[in-house]
């Protein structure tokens, strides 16, 4: 705009290589601890990771990788995976994180759609690589994240340690525009094919600064952080960037995420903060209950990916003096969208009175904006009552999908429709009531499957609970409650419905209860698509009784 006076500050592009540069220069001896895929605990530092990441950069450049080329990782959380992130992104290439839990056909589609040139893979993914490699013609080289002694000898590829061994640790990073693509992560593809979200260096850098706010992750150099949330799951919620940004110790669980393995790392590494989906912490709490172990060092857990049941929040607080912070976000948001750090009004309440707010998905940090609209796009009031379509905008929110998939995804005001149905209250707390595709439409009204699930999961005998809306001849849809009992436990339908009685509206009460295993998807969330397919054509008790 004509007449504006430019500021006289340095032009310092916001590229993520500067994050690890900072960690290596100012926190060079801070540990990064990994449970290696081979088994043993491995210790390194930010200084060593920085050096090895630059050796990887030179190996990539020697192969012919150039800015914009996609380099895929098929790996769990280890220091080698962190080296891969920075080694790829530092030279302007795109780090494409693949989820090892996806079906083979999904991985083939994603790799071919991204046109990945190199695949960096954990040795535990050998059978996956063997099954898909012949269907992925763009892959020129497989690099196994191991040494020669552990790499699969019956499959093509070179060991990572051999590949980088003779490379120089001197490599120019950065020196490209901050809007350069840095990372690629595909959505879970719950409807149609997965879509690619292409992060920029700028978006990741700003997301890191946003995450470090006290009202978000609030990490410091004094923290020891157990990063359970996978690096292939929406940027590991930004922890692989925010850790070195402040010099926090990172603890990486590899591919062992059962309760006993998590507890071992919490104890031996004196972890103060951890982050994971609710199912992981449910397994931890069940292990603690079984063993009688305590959590002397843990102070805070960040829970996202799906709604956190009240029982988890209360058990962590009441039995272990650990604060639970509810997070919400999306792959398309890099991913943080809101966090449940209590505001001043809520913090002043007795703990029991805080629970309704702690169960919500929290408030927006600086860098995110939100609005609720009806189906016609009309703005809805922030009264905590009106359900609406949740739409978001911000510096780390996608404006389009990779290769233009999905077409235009922003509304006229530049907001992205999350696909979630939510409320916003007068204190700014957002609560997801359902995915738009999961909300149960019964008799012209909406029923929140999430709220019923969270209450049912609080039953002392229940391990997991899921609620889906199934076709009903009179009410359009009615809720079916599916429960997976804890090992050795049993219950009756009447017992579980009685547990819900008085906690939800009577017309929300499930019409039936099914005792079954609750399937989890590739990111640890309940797989409702699978459940709906399994129970399609379900015959309600009243229909059976009428025969």
Start-to-end C-alpha separation, the chain: 75
- DSSP secondary structure letter of residue 187: -
In three-state form (DSSP H/G/I as H, E/B as E, the rest C), the secondary structure along 332-401 is HHCCEEEECCCCHHHHCCCHHHHHHHHCCCEECCCCEEEEEECCCCCECCCCCCCCEEEEEEECCCCCCC
Closest CA to 359 of 438, 437, 454: 454
Catalytic residue among 290, 291, 441, 492: 441
Q: Give the count of beta carbons closer than 10 Å to the beta carbon of residue 8.
A: 5
Q: Give the up-direction half-sphere exposure of residue 169: CA atoms within 13 A in the CB hemisphere.
A: 8
- DSSP secondary structure letter of residue 124: G
| Lookup result for tokens 């009441």 | 318
- The helix/strand/coil state of 77 is strand
| Residue 332 annotated among the catalytic residues of the structure | yes
Catalytic residue among 178, 310, 332, 451: 332
Beta bridge partners of 466: 482
- The helix/strand/coil state of 72 is strand
Catalytic residue among 446, 477, 486, 540: 446
Angle at 230 between CA 163 and CA 368, to 5 degrees: 120
Q: Output b/e per residue, 10-43; b: 16+ Cβ within 10 A.
A: eeebbbbbbbbbbbbeebeebbbbbbbbeeeebe
| Residue 446 annotated among the catalytic residues of the structure | yes
Catalytic residue among 187, 331, 423, 433: 187
Q: CA–CA separation, 259 vs 285, rounded Å?
A: 8
Residues annotated as catalytic (active site), given as ranges: 187, 332, 441, 446
């Amino acid at each position: 705009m004509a007449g504006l006076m430019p500021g006289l500050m340095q032009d310092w592009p916001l590229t993520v290589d500067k994050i690890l540069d900072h960690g290596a220069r100012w926190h060079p001896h801070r540990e990064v601890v990994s449970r290696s895929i081979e088994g043993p605990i491995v210790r390194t530092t930010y200084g060593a990771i920085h050096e090895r990441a630059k050796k990887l950069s030179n190996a990539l450049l020697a192969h012919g990788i150039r800015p914009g080329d996609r380099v895929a990782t098929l790996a769990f959380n280890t220091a080698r995976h962190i080296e891969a992130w920075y080694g790829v992104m530092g030279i302007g290439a795109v780090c494409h994180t693949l989820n090892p839990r996806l079906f083979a056909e999904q991985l083939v589609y994603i790799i071919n759609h991204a046109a990945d040139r190199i695949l960096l893979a954990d040795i535990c993914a050998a059978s996956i690589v063997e099954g898909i490699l012949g269907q992925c013609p763009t892959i020129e080289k497989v690099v196994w994240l191991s040494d020669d002694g552990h790499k699969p000898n019956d499959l093509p590829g070179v060991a990572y340690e051999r590949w980088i061994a003779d490379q120089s640790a001197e490599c120019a990073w950065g020196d490209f525009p901050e809007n350069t693509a840095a990372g690629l992560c595909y959505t879970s593809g719950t409807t149609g094919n997965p879509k690619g979200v292409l992060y920029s260096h700028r978006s990741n850098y700003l997301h890191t600064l946003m995450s470090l706010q006290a009202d978000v992750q609030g990490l410091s150099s004094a923290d020891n952080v157990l990063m359970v949330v996978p690096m292939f799951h929406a940027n590991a919620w930004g922890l692989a960037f925010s850790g070195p940004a402040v010099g926090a110790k990172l603890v990486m669980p590899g591919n062992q995420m059962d309760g006993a393995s998590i507890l071992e790392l919490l104890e031996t590494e004196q972890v103060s903060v951890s982050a994971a989906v609710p199912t992981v912490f449910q397994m931890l709490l069940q292990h603690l209950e079984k063993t009688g172990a305590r959590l002397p060092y843990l102070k805070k857990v960040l829970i996202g990916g799906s709604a956190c049941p009240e029982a988890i929040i209360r058990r962590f607080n009441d039995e272990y003096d650990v604060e639970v912070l509810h997070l919400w976000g999306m792959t398309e948001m890099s991913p943080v969208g809101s966090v449940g750090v209590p505001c001043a009004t809520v913090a002043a309440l007795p703990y029991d009175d805080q629970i309704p707010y702690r169960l919500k998905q929290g408030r927006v940090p600086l860098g995110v904006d939100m609005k609720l609209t009806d189906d016609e796009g009309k703005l809805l009031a922030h009264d905590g009552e009106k359900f609406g379509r949740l739409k978001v905008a911000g510096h780390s929110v996608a404006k389009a999908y990779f290769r233009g998939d999905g077409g235009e995804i922003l509304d006229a005001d530049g907001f992205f429709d999350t696909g979630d149905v939510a409320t916003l209250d007068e204190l700014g707390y957002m609560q997801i009531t359902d995915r738009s595709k999961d909300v149960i439409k019964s008799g012209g009204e909406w029923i929140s499957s999430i709220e019923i699930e969270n209450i049912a999961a609080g039953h002392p005998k229940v391990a997991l609970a899921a609620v889906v809306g199934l076709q009903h001849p009179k009410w359009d849809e009615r809720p079916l409650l599916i429960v997976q009992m804890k090992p050795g436990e049993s219950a009756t339908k009447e017992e579980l419905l009685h547990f819900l009685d008085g906690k939800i509206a009577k017309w929300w009460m499930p019409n039936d209860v099914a005792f079954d295993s609750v399937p989890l998807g590739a990111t640890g969330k309940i797989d409702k698509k699978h459940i709906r397919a399994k129970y399609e054509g379900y015959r309600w008790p009243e229909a059976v009784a009428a025969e």
